[in-house]
Chains A and B, each alone.
Chain A
Amino acid sequence: MWRRRKQQDFNAELEAHLQLEADQLNSEGLTPAEAQAAARRALGNRTSAEEWFYESSRWMIAQHFLRDLRFATRVLMRDAKFSMLAILGLALGIGVSTGIFAVLGPILKPHGSNVRVTEDVRDPNSFVGLERGRSRSFSGPEYRYFQDHSTLLREISAESDPQSLVLNAISEGGDSEEVRATFESANSLSVLGMRPALGRNFSKEEERPGIAPVAMLSYQFWQRRFAANPNVLGNTIVLNAHAVTIVGIADPKFHAEDTSAVFLPLGLQPLILDQGDWLRDSGASWLMVSARLQPGVSRSQAQAEADVLGSSFDENNHPGIAQSADERILLSDGGLSREMQQQVTAAKIVVNLIVAMILLIACSNLANLLLARAVVRRREIGVRLSLGASRARLVCQLLTESLLLSIAGGAVGLLLSSWLVKGLSATAVGTSLSASGTELHLDHRALLYALVLSIATGVGFGLGPALAATKTNLARALHAEGLSGPSAPSQKMWSPRNLLVIAPLSISLMLLMGAAVLVRTLRYASFVPTFDTSRVISMVFRLKAQGYDEAKSVQFQETLRERVSAMPGVVSVALDSASPLPFLPPFGICSLTDGVASPSSALACHAVSPGYFETLGIPIVRGRAFLRSDREASEPVAIVSEQMARTYWPGEEAIGKRIRSQGGATFFEVVGVAADLEAPGHRPPFPMFPIAYVPAGQESLLMAPRRDGPLAARVASNQVSDMQFLVRSSGDPASVKTSLRQAVRAADPSLWVSIQTIDERLEPLIGPQRTMALCLSGFGVLALLMACAGIYAILAYAVSQRTREIGIRMALGAHRREILSMVMMRTLVLIASGIGVGLAGALALSRILAASIRGLPGMDAGTFISVTILLGAASLLASYLPSRKALRVDPVQALRCE
């Protein structure tokens, strides 16, 4: 093999050759002096041979690189101001875009009941989800009908909506907890190509009621709560007061994207939920169905079969009722619902657009700086070229400089983004996210992303300026003019240099516009309650699920209520059948048969105890509040919200009207109108309904169970035993919460209870939106700053280039105003065209996005005008500052500088 030979050795060999040759020539008759000269002539270019040997060394590339690196560091250190600017600008771009991925990624990840992460599915092409109607779900009989009759689909599996169950303390002295559970068919795992990590799957028999209670734990829950102990198989846990045996641990990927803890076989639904038998109820849609296509079957064939089966099922079960078009069964891709897919794609597009735009601004700023520098160094480059440096070597060296800059920028950017992420995860959003199982952190993908980004930036945006810089006319570069001569191409409007001003300006205009529109929508979507939500503590029980019957529940509530009323710091206590805010259907939803509104319009129905309105701090605007005398046996009365009064009896007096719920037999007389819970003009991220209040004890009259459907059953079953406590505190809510918890423990230590202020309950719903709004406006401002910095840099450079010209003009008697207008004129044109291009782009983008993304808010003239003015003003300021410098040019100094 080739061992490395030293340069000296090679040189020595050449020396030896000369002597040998001279010896021989000498012996052939030349004088020694002639012989030596002839030998040297015969050898030819000795230096070039030596150089050849030197450069053929395999360490050459590394050596060049190291030398370039050293040189680049020196050059960058010498011009520290420039380097800092470039690095900071890039760091902002890279840091923010890396941060966006880490932060917005999890927020935008589809949350919700029926989202399956498609990547986890084996062979996703044959995997289909079935959707029906608006609820996108199926009833038990429909599911079985499909299983029995479909020939083109196999492995038809079903999974229920998530249910929250109460899990009694696993260990001695622990707390009960609320867990998320789903009911699963026997093949729910196998249809995804997964199998239990431990233990067994559910069997086909376990899809039918009357079986021994068994459960499978989610892998994550098993690790968290059972320390991944394999001996847990065969143990018993208590779910909703029923002892259930653990028979398996699910695949780690199964429901890994949500917080599911327990999976139960379908057959356990009637027992565990105690809300009727949904398996046989064809009116209860509660199952998400997915399946595999039989080999060789296309999606359209399966769709055709689903259409046929759907209508034949309806024939058999609801004869005579024509199904509307939106009740059609649809096959969706990979189990991800169409709407979800659209939302996810839309969110991804928007986020990527934002990232790309911020990056583009950062990169164009870098290119700007590099170009400006290259012109300044034109002379240096010219000298090097004329001394025989090859263009490739020079480009390499300039590239090394820009790479060094961009990698430094990337490193600082990574630091920035880690701060950004840390800062954000410390906020309420972070905590609410980690509660839902998502941690905010920079993972290796983000690191890789930042690295690739900085290298691509360094090469991509360094190459252009490097090539441009080395394409110099040597004669001109070395000439004095080369230092300050106005370059001809920059006079053109669409020259690359000018584009570097126009592009970031227009991009930041688009970004700002988008941010403004989104922030406006988000603010609109936020929520302003009319009462002090930080002082009202709600205490939620799951008494029925924990085995309390009605009598026991009432007794417990009475005792607790007395005890809580006497507690220090408690102003008043009331009971409510549903959460006032956020109101979460379907519990407490009902509709009215009588009244002007259509029968489908939903109401939030609350059965409340006396003192409810003063506890929340909601004034009764007209009529009266509930009294102690309004009880089960007394005349049925109701109080309605102002919104309901407006909706149902516009322009009429609501008091004295009679309402009756659909399916209920009793009329309620409206005796009062209560203020709304939220200020008008907003659209909160949870449903808001007109509200009807009835006195506790009379709710059974209002919400008489309907014959069909689980909804009424759920509503009925949720009464009395699941009344929640609302407590108004006068002092620190935290200390009141502690004493409330103690009071509950004293009454029954095994009870599950959730004690939170209404603010805390609202936070997970409105927090992410607030962060989104904050982030977006932050990005908008950042983009603006970066664009302004770019304008500033380019103008400052232009002014410094024209120092001599300005000096001459001033010496010849030009006014300051003329100089200022001369310098600013071209900038103004640039700014105007930047804004113009940006406006056109924003319009086009909003058109394109609005066409592809549903629910995207449109632009309004107000936003358009204010953003344009803001950007115009900011960029004018950025260009005015360097222009002022032009005015301070001392003519004598300027003329003497040559």
Chain B
Amino acid sequence: MTTQDPSKERIALLQGTLDLLILRTLLFGPQHGQGVARAIQEQSQDVLLVDHGTLYPALQRLENKAWIDAKWGTSTNNRRARFYTITKAGRKQLTQETSQWRKLATAIGRVLGPEEH
């Protein structure tokens, strides 16, 4: 039930990759949920599709794992929003997952061979 732009090919997120993307986004500083969603979309040049409804459970999950912290605050346009910050444990997790992801991507790339056009 999300808006889909038919001109662009969008990729549904793989299980678990959303966590990685959230952590990565938060690395640049505190951000609220909507900001995180936007950032992921923009940085992936609108390729990655983040269902906003699934973002919040993911944020809650990360908070439960103590990888991120949350605090209510005020946004730039004076709206109340819940701001998330990455914790130390979160940073560690990010490094770990990033390297794992890179390895996986390389491995899969090798298996699939050179890109065909």
**Does B bind A?**
yes
Cβ B38 vs Cβ A41 within 8 A: no
A6 to chain B, nearest CB (A): 12
Chain B residues in 8 Å Cβ range of A20? 32, 34-35, 75, 77, 79, 81
Nearest CB in chain B to that of A27: its residue = B77
CB neighbours (8 Å) of B24 from chain A are none
Q: Are B66 and A48 in contact (CB under 8 A)?
A: no
Q: A41 to B66, alpha carbons, bound, how many Å? A: 30
Q: Is the CB of B3 within 8 A of A41?
A: yes
Complex CA distance for A52 and B55, rounded to whole angstroms: 12
Number of interface residues of B (CB under 8 A): 25
Assembled-state Cα–Cα distance A43/B1 (Å) = 9
The residue that A42 contacts in the complex, of B3, B56, B75, with Cβ under 8 A, is B3
Give the shortest distance, in Å, between B81 (CB) and chain A (any CB).
5
Is the beta-carbon distance between B75 and A46 smaller than 8 angstroms?
no
For residue A13, CB closer than 8 A to chain B, the reply is: yes
Beta-carbon contacts of A33-59 to B below 8 Å, as 1s and 0s? 000001001111110110011001000
- Assuming the contacts A16-B80, A49-B56, A49-B57, asked whether A44 and B1 have C-beta atoms less than 8 A apart, the reply is yes
Given known A1-B66, A13-B82, A16-B80, contact A21–B34 (CB-CB < 8 A): yes
Min distance, Cβ A46 to any Cβ of chain B, angstroms? 6
Q: Which of B44-70 contact A (CB under 8 A)?
A: 51-54, 56-57, 60, 63-64, 66
Q: Of residues B53, B54, B56, B80, which shows the largest number of chain A Cβ atoms within 10 Å of its Cβ?
A: B53
How many residue pairs, one in A and one in B, have C-beta atoms under 8 Å apart? 71
Complex Cα spacing A16 to B83, Å: 11
Given contacts A43-B52, A44-B2, A48-B53, contact A19 B79 (CB under 8 A): yes
- CB-based contact A16/B81 at 8 Å: yes
Contacts of A41 in B (CB 8 A): 1-3
Q: Given A23-B79, A41-B2, A44-B52, A2 and B64 touching (CB < 8 A)?
A: yes
| A17-B33, A48-B53 known; A42-B2 Cβ under 8 A | yes
Cα distance A19–B78 in the bound complex, in angstroms: 11
Q: Once bound together, how far apart are the Cα atoms of A43 and B52, in whole Å? A: 4
**CA distance in complex: A14, B66 (Å):** 21
Q: Which residues of B contact A5 (CB under 8 A)?
A: 60
> Is B32 touching A56 in the complex (CB atoms < 8 A)?
no
B57: A residues at CB distance < 8 A: 49, 52-53, 56
Q: Which residues of B contact A56 (CB under 8 A)?
A: 57, 60
Q: Does A419 contact B (CB under 8 A)?
A: no
Q: Which residues of B contact A21 (CB under 8 A)?
A: 34, 37, 52
Measured between alpha carbons, how far is A20 from B33 in the docked complex, in Å?
A: 9
Tell me, in angstroms, the Cα distance from A45 to B54 when the chains sit together. 9
B53 touches A16 (CB 8 A): no
Interface residues as binary, B70-96 with A (CB distance below 8 Å gives 1, 0 otherwise): 000001010111100000000000000
CB distance from B2 to the nearest CB of A (A): 6
For A38, list chain B residues within 8 Å (CB): 3
Chain B residues with CB under 8 A of A53 = 56-57, 60
At the interface, is chain A mostly helix, strand, loop or mixed? helix
Interface mask (A5-31 → B, CB under 8 Å = 1, otherwise 0): 100001001101101110110000000
- Near A by CB (< 8 A), chain B positions 98-114 give none
A53 to B60, CA, bound (A): 8
Among B54, B56, B79, B80, find the residue whose CB has the most chain A CB atoms closer than 10 A: B56
Min CB gap B66→A, angstroms: 7
A42 and B60 contacting across the interface, CB-CB below 8 Å: no
Which residues does chain A contribute within 8 Å of B60, judged by CB atoms? 5, 10, 53, 56
Interface residues in A596-628 by Cβ distance below 8 A to B read: none
A19 CB, min distance to chain B CBs, angstroms: 6
| B86 nearest CB across to chain A (Å) | 17
In angstroms, Cα B37 to Cα A273, docked, is 100
B53 and A46 contact, CB distance less than 8 A:
yes
The answer to whether A24 and B38 touch (CB under 8 A), given A2-B66, A13-B33, is: yes
Evaluate contact between A24 and B54: CB separation under 8 angstroms.
no
Among the interface residues A2, A19, A20, A41, which one has the most CB atoms of the partner chain B within 10 A?
A20
Residue of A nearest to B41 (CB): A42
Tell me whether A17 and B34 are in contact (CB under 8 A). yes
Q: How far is the CB of A405 from chain B (nearest CB, A)?
A: 38
- Closest chain-B Cβ to A20's Cβ sits at a distance in Å of 4
Q: A9 → chain B, closest Cβ, in Å?
A: 8
Taking a contact as CB atoms under 8 Å apart, the answer to whether B81 and A44 are in contact is no
A43 CA to B54 CA, complexed, in Å: 8
A-side contacts of B80, CB under 8 Å: 16
Q: With the chains together, A49 CA to B54 CA distance in Å?
A: 7
Complex CA–CA separation, A677 to B24 (angstroms): 102
- Chain B residue nearest to A2 (CB atoms) is B64
Whether A42 lies near B52 (C-beta < 8 A) is yes
Residues of B within 8 A of A10 (CB): 56, 60
**When the two chains form their complex, are residues B56 and A14 in contact, meaning their CB atoms are under 8 A apart?**
yes
* Nearest A-chain residue to B77, judged by Cβ: A23
Q: How far is the CB of A55 from chain B (nearest CB, A)?
A: 10
- Bound-state Cα–Cα, A13 to B57, Å: 11
CB neighbours (8 Å) of B75 from chain A are 20
Beta-carbon nearest neighbor of B81 in chain A: A16
Chain A residues, Cβ within 8 Å of B37? 17, 21, 42
**B residues within 8 A CB of A23?**
77, 79
The answer to whether B63 and A2 have CB atoms under 8 Å apart is yes
- Distance, CA A453 to CA B95, complexed state (A): 53
Q: Are B79 and A44 in contact (CB under 8 A)?
A: no
Q: Which B residues lie within 8 Å of A42 (CB)?
A: 2-3, 37, 52
| Chain B residues with CB below 8 A from A19, complex form | 79
Q: Once the chains bind, are B3 and A16 in contact (CB under 8 Å)?
A: no
- Give the distance to chain A from B6, nearest Cβ to Cβ, in Å: 15
Q: A1-B66, A10-B60, A16-B81 are in contact. Are A43 and B33 (CB under 8 A)?
A: no
Query: A52 CA to B1 CA in the complex, in Å?
Result: 17
A49 CA to B75 CA in the complex, in Å?
A: 23
Compute how far the CA of A43 lies from the CA of B75 in the bound complex, rounded to whole angstroms.
19
Q: A1-B66, A13-B33, A44-B52 are in contact. List 12 more A-B contacts (CB 8 A).
A: A2-B63, A16-B34, A20-B34, A20-B35, A23-B79, A38-B3, A42-B3, A43-B52, A44-B54, A45-B1, A53-B57, A56-B57
6 interchain pairs, CB-CB under 8 A: A17-B52, A21-B37, A23-B77, A42-B37, A42-B52, A46-B53
Residues in chain A within 8 A of chain B (CB atoms):
1-2, 5, 10, 13-14, 16-17, 19-21, 23-24, 38, 41-46, 48-49, 52-53, 56
Which B positions have Cβ atoms within 8 angstroms of A?
1-3, 32-35, 37-38, 51-54, 56-57, 60, 63-64, 66, 75, 77, 79-82
Which 7 pairs across A and B sit closest by C-beta, in order of nearness?
A44-B53, A20-B34, A43-B52, A49-B53, A13-B82, A17-B34, A52-B57
